[in-house]
Amino acid sequence: MIKDRQIKIAIIGLGNCASSLIQGIYYYRNSKKEKFIPGLMHINFGGYYIDDIKIVAAFDVNSNKVGLDVADAIYAKPNNTVVFAKVPKIGIKVSKGPILDGVNKYTSELVPVDNSQKQDDVVEILKKSGAQIVINYLPVGSQKATEFYANAAIEAGCGFVNCIPVFIASDKKWAKKFTNAGLPVIGDDIKAQVGATITHRALVSLFLDRGMRIERTYQLNTGGNTDFLNMLERERLASKKISKTESVRSLIEARGQTIADNNIHIGPSDYVPWQKDNKICFLRIESKHFGDVPMNIEVRLSVEDSPNSAGVAIDSIRCMKLALDHKLKGPIIEPAAFFQKRPPQQFDDRIAKNMVEDYIKKYARKN
């Protein structure tokens, strides 16, 4: 019998995504009573509810956030996502982690770092807090910082949920490190509930199912949060573009079709400050009907970027807890395939969803 039903998480990067996740945990704190929660696969997920998730540690470098109670830090600037819950103090202060490559020339204008603030010992805090799971919400391109926190998770004996496109679960070397440490990892790059990636994948699947070729496609995204500001630095974008492009290309190739590099363009496209956390996606697919007659489809999707993936994060965290309960190690394939853009192995979304349902049945807690 597994007695401990608390899911103790440590969060790296208290930006907009962390804000939506923490607001959601509070907003749905009586989840057992709810009949439906948008964004979750199940209210009772393998025996775990949202209420079981406890934040026990949090790390950031922004001097507006470090030292604050987590409940205050999630509303501090430059966070600008929608506030749907006012979270009361939770008694956990934001610790300061190493900066490494977490802040760049664009974000440094909005993310103040006070070098006189003492840097905390990440591994020691993780161990003392009893954290079981580390969830990574660093900015895109934080290669060194992500590797630092992934190593810290291993040293502290925690599972790692990697929501960003720095490749850990899908990287053979890192996957092996987690396997060797006897710890699970879920990643990489979280897929939003109904976001640009899943919409693009659904439309591409529709075309393929109806016997069409994908001749050309693009997905252009704009937003006004620090995630989009950070991605103005094109060099940091390489892995994001790979992650987003592979997510669509893999479907095309799975059906025996190919698409040339210059006929598929997917990625973040610009920073528009007044959009705040609202992300707009412009998506186009060009194809040909019977008789080689051309056709195309255009979609404009508008979403609040951060709440859009918070439910997916909650389900990923609960999958990770089931993995820890059963001492699974290395990359956890099923939740990664459904919840992440760049999993170790890509599957069709309907297949991936059934894989997660089977995973829940197999590993659900019995009491």
Ligand X SMILES: NC(=O)c1ccc[n+]([C@@H]2O[C@H](COP(=O)([O-])OP(=O)(O)OC[C@H]3O[C@@H](n4cnc5c(N)ncnc54)[C@H](O)[C@@H]3O)[C@@H](O)[C@H]2O)c1
Nearer to ligand X, 189 or 315 (CB): 189
Nearer to ligand X, 140 or 332 (CB): 140
Is the bond leading into 78 cis (omega within 30 degrees of zero)?
yes
Strand, helix or coil for residue 47? coil
Nearer to ligand X, 126 or 328 (CB): 126
| DSSP state for residue 275 in the 8-state scheme | G
User: From residue 323, how far is each of 89, 191, 220 by CA, in Å?
Assistant: 30, 20, 36
Residue whose Cβ sits closest to ligand X: 15
For 181, what's the count of Cα atoms within 13 Å in the CB-facing half-sphere?
23
Min dist CB 340 to ligand X, Å, is: 9
Min dist CB 114 to ligand X, Å, is: 12
Min dist CB 191 to ligand X, Å, is: 7
Number of residues that this document lists for the chain: 367
Min dist CB 137 to ligand X, Å, is: 4
Rounded Cα gap, residues 349 and 169, in angstroms: 19
Contact 299/203 with Cβ under 8 angstroms? yes
Structure tokens at 87: 């979270």
User: From residue 264, how far is each of 142, 244, 292, 349 by CA, in Å?
Assistant: 25, 11, 20, 20
Min dist CB 291 to ligand X, Å, is: 40
Nearer to ligand X, 129 or 287 (CB): 129
Nearer to ligand X, 226 or 287 (CB): 226
Where along the sequence are the contacts to ligand X (CB under 6 A)? Answer: 12-18, 59-62, 97-100, 102-103, 111, 137-140, 145, 163-164, 189-190, 192, 195, 225-227, 305-306, 308-309
